[in-house]
Chain A
C-alpha cells in the first residue's frame, strides 16, 4: 500500500489524480483520506486517528469485494446510528457517482483547478444534506433517488461552475444581506424555506449556557483545595516533606434549562423555533427539560432526545383536544408545580416560558403559580413573541398578572431576539436577581412601556454575531 500523502499545509494543493490511476485503485489511501474529509465536512466525526485505524483494518479484508469494503468503512468510520443515512449517501456519492464526474471533468480545460474544488461538496448538495440532517425520519427515506436526480441535472448543467464559486461566501450560500433580513424578520411571516434557513443559521451559532459551580472538585494547576492524594504521592520522593503542592478546584457545569412552551395557534411556530434554538445551544438538549401546554401540560423531553423537535411538537398538538378553549396558563403551571417542579427544578434551573399571555383561565391561579414557580427556580424568563412589535403593551390579564413574577421579559419573534436570549443565558451566574417589591414595581413599569425601552443584552466578549 502507498504512503499517505505528505501534509504540506494546504491539503488541496496535492497533485490532482489522473483518472487512470483512480480506475486502477492506486493510491487508495489518498482516496480514503479524501472520503474522510467529505464525511468530516458533513458532520461525521472522522479524525486522522480513525483514518489510520481504518487503513490498518483494511489489511484484513478483501477490498475488491464491494460489500466488505463498504462494511469495513462503515463500521470503522461511523459511530452513531443517526448518521447512518448520511454516511450511505456520501458513500454512494463519493465511491460511485463522483468518479464519473471526475472523468468528465478531466477532459475539460482547467480540470485541475476544478478538481480542487470538488473536494468540497457542491453547495446544492450541502444544502440538501444540512436540511436532511434536520428533517424528520419519513422525509429522509426518499432522499437517495432525489439525490441522483439532482446529480444528473447538475451534470447536464454547465452553470455548476459558477455555483461552486459562490461556495466560499457564507456557510449555507446565503448572502450577508439575506442573513441580515432573515434575522430581523418575524417568524410568523417566514416561508417554509426561510424556516429551514433559520434553523441552519441557528445550527452554526456557538454559545455556552450559563454555568453553575458544582460541589465536585477536579484536579487543577491552581485551585483552592489541596489534592491530598496526589500531594502524598508526589512528595514521597522527598520523604515526608511536602514540597510540591497540587490543587483541586470547583468544577462547573451548565445550568439546567426548563422550557415551558405554549403551543396554541401561532405560538406553536415560535415554540418550535425556540426549541430548535435551545437544541443548538445546549449540546443536544442534554441538560434541558421541555414541556408544552395547550389546555394541559405535557412533557416532551424524552421525545425530543430521540426525535426531531418538529415531530414532537406536532404529535402533542395533535393530541391537544380543545383548541377553542384557549390557553390555561395558570392550570398548566399548577400542574407543573405539583408534578414536575420538584423533579426538574433542582440545581439552580433556569425556566423559560414562551407564551403570548392570552390566558383564559383564572387570574388568581396564575398569580399563585407564578409566585411559586419563581421561588423554586434560579431565573424565570418569559418570552413573548408579541413583544417584538413596537406597539405591543402587556395589557392582557394573563400577562399583567404574570409580569411581577418574571425576572426577564424578552421577545422571541425573530432570530435577533433569540440571539439576545442566547447572550442572556450565557451570562446567567450565581447571583440572584432582585425579587423584592420595589424591584418588581420598577421592572413592571419598564416592561409596560414596551420592548423598545428595555436594555439590550449585549455582553462584551460573547459571540453575538452570526458567523460569516
Chain B
C-alpha cells in the first residue's frame, strides 16, 4: 500500500489489522503521526508484547523493505553503518600496480562505492532507494551510549558522512522504529527526537482477538480459556510476566498435544512455554494453580 493511502488513523488501524496486527487506537495514532511527520518512533514495553512486530507489519503495510539492525553492546560504525572491503582493496591495488596506474587514480578507485560494504543504517538512507524503507533498530538498550550518540546525528538529519566519499543524504526519509526493553535507560536526547509509545499488555478481549487473528483454526473455547489463564498469571506476583508471544507459543504447544480445552495435567506439563523462571513455576504451583485453572475453565 502506498503511504499516501494512509490518510486517517482508521486507515492505519485497518491496514495493520489486515496484516493480523491488532493495534489500539492510541498505537495507530502514534504510528500515523510517525508516518506523517517522519519522526522516529520509540517503542517500549515488556518483552513479548509485539514491539518488533510493529515494524514488520508496517513494512508489509507499506510494501517496502524492512531493514533490521539488531543492537548489541559494542556495536559500532563498521557493523552498523559501513565498512570498507579491505581484501578487495588490497587485491585491487595489486592489480592496478601491475597495470601501471597512477597513485591518485588508485586512491580514487579503491575508496569508491564498489569497495564499500553497506551495513543496515547506510542501506536505510541510500539515495538509490526508490521507496522509503522501514528501518528497525531493535533493542537499542543493548547497545552502549556511544552508539546512541551516533544515532542522534543520523536520526535528526538522515545523513551519514563517510570521510573518503562525502556526505550521503537520504532521498526518501526512512520510517524508523526503535524498540527498547529498558535494560538500560535510553538517553533523554534521543527520546526527544522520537515519538514515544509504551505498549502495554493487552486486555482480555484484545488478547483473544490477537490469538484468533494469529492462529486461525484454534478452538474458540481453548483460546478464551488460555487468555483468561494468562491474565490470571499476569496478576500474580511473578518475576517474568508472560507476554503475548508466550501466549501464542503456549497455545501451539497445547494444540500439538491435541488439547481442546484447559485440563490441569497438560497445563502443568506445558507451563514451561509460559514461565521462564523456576521461582515463578514454584510460585504458581499448588492451590493457587488449581484456583487459576478453575477460574479460566469457568470463562467459556
Asked if A338 contacts B239 (CB within 8 A), the reply is: yes
Q: How far is the CA of A215 from the CA of B78 in the complex (A)?
A: 13
> 1/0 per position for B84-109, CB-CB distance to A under 8 A?
10100111011001000000001100
Asked if B94 contacts A239 (CB within 8 A), the reply is: yes
Min CB distance B241 to A, Å, is: 10
Residues of B within 8 A of A216 (CB): 73-74, 76, 144, 146
> 1/0 per position for A358-391, CB-CB distance to B under 8 A?
0000000000100010000000000000000000
Of A215, A337, A342, which contacts B73 at CB under 8 A? A215
Residue of A nearest to B95 (CB): A240
Given the interface pairs A216-B74, A337-B239, the reply to whether A240 lies near B86 with Cβ below 8 Å is: no
Asked if A28 is at the interface (CB within 8 A of a chain B CB), the reply is no
| A: number of interface residues (CB 8 Å) | 19
Q: How far is the CA of A343 from the CA of B181 in the complex (A)?
A: 8
| B: number of interface residues (CB 8 Å) | 26
Min CB distance B17 to A, Å, is: 32
Given the interface pairs A229-B78, A343-B185, the reply to whether A215 lies near B72 with Cβ below 8 Å is: yes
Min CB distance A369 to B, Å, is: 11
Asked if B97 contacts A240 (CB within 8 A), the reply is: yes
Q: Which of B95-140 contact A (CB under 8 A)?
A: 97, 106-107
Number of residue pairs across A and B with beta carbons under 8 Å?
53
Min CB distance B27 to A, Å, is: 23
Of B78, B86, B183, which contacts A342 at CB under 8 A? B183
Residues of A within 8 A of B97 (CB): 239-240
Asked if B184 is at the interface (CB within 8 A of a chain A CB), the reply is yes
> 1/0 per position for A335-348, CB-CB distance to B under 8 A?
00110001100110
Residues of B within 8 A of A231 (CB): 86
Asked if B182 is at the interface (CB within 8 A of a chain A CB), the reply is yes
Q: How far is the CA of A337 from the CA of B183 in the complex (A)?
A: 13
Residues of B within 8 A of A395 (CB): none
Residues of A within 8 A of B73 (CB): 214-216, 347
Min CB distance B77 to A, Å, is: 9
Asked if A236 is at the interface (CB within 8 A of a chain B CB), the reply is yes
Residue of B nearest to A368 (CB): B279
Min CB distance A263 to B, Å, is: 23
Residues of A within 8 A of B237 (CB): 338
Given the interface pairs A240-B93, A240-B94, the reply to whether A343 lies near B107 with Cβ below 8 Å is: no
Main secondary structure of the interface of A (DSSP, over half): helix
Residues of B within 8 A of A368 (CB): 279
Residues of A within 8 A of B182 (CB): 342-343
Asked if A267 is at the interface (CB within 8 A of a chain B CB), the reply is no
Q: How far is the CA of A259 from the CA of B178 in the complex (A)?
A: 30
Q: How far is the CA of A217 from the CA of B72 in the complex (A)?
A: 14
Residue of B nearest to A340 (CB): B182
Residue of A nearest to B181 (CB): A342
Residues of B within 8 A of A217 (CB): 74, 76
Asked if A232 contacts B239 (CB within 8 A), the reply is: no
Asked if A232 contacts B94 (CB within 8 A), the reply is: no
Min CB distance A101 to B, Å, is: 46
Q: How far is the CA of A236 from the CA of B97 in the complex (A)?
A: 11
Q: How far is the CA of A62 from the CA of B121 in the complex (A)?
A: 51
A228, A232, A337, most chain B CB atoms within 10 A: A232
Q: How far is the CA of A276 from the CA of B84 in the complex (A)?
A: 48
Asked if A232 contacts B144 (CB within 8 A), the reply is: no
Min CB distance B90 to A, Å, is: 5
> 1/0 per position for B215-250, CB-CB distance to A under 8 A?
000000000000000000000010100000000000
Residues of B within 8 A of A215 (CB): 72-74, 144
Residues of B within 8 A of A214 (CB): 73-74, 144
Asked if A236 contacts B74 (CB within 8 A), the reply is: no
Min CB distance B18 to A, Å, is: 35
Q: How far is the CA of A15 from the CA of B84 in the complex (A)?
A: 61
Residue of B nearest to A301 (CB): B185
Residues of A within 8 A of B74 (CB): 214-217
Min CB distance A282 to B, Å, is: 16
Q: Which of B164-188 contact A (CB under 8 A)?
A: 181-185
Q: How far is the CA of A197 from the CA of B74 in the complex (A)?
A: 42
Residues of A within 8 A of B106 (CB): 236
Min CB distance A123 to B, Å, is: 41
Q: How far is the CA of A372 from the CA of B237 in the complex (A)?
A: 15
Asked if A229 contacts B94 (CB within 8 A), the reply is: no
Asked if B94 contacts A228 (CB within 8 A), the reply is: no
Residues of A within 8 A of B279 (CB): 368, 372
Q: How far is the CA of A228 from the CA of B85 in the complex (A)?
A: 10
Q: How far is the CA of A121 from the CA of B1 in the complex (A)?
A: 72
Q: Which of B192-222 contact A (CB under 8 A)?
A: none
Asked if B84 contacts A232 (CB within 8 A), the reply is: yes
Q: How far is the CA of A231 from the CA of B87 in the complex (A)?
A: 12
Across chains A and B, which 8 residue pairs bring their CB atoms closest together, nearest first?
Answer: A215-B74, A240-B93, A215-B73, A240-B94, A240-B90, A216-B74, A346-B183, A228-B86
Q: CB within 8 Å of B: which residues of A?
A: 214-217, 228-229, 231-232, 236, 239-240, 337-338, 342-343, 346-347, 368, 372
Q: Beyond A216-B73, A239-B97: 4 further Cβ-contacts under 8 Å? A: A216-B76, A236-B106, A240-B90, A346-B184
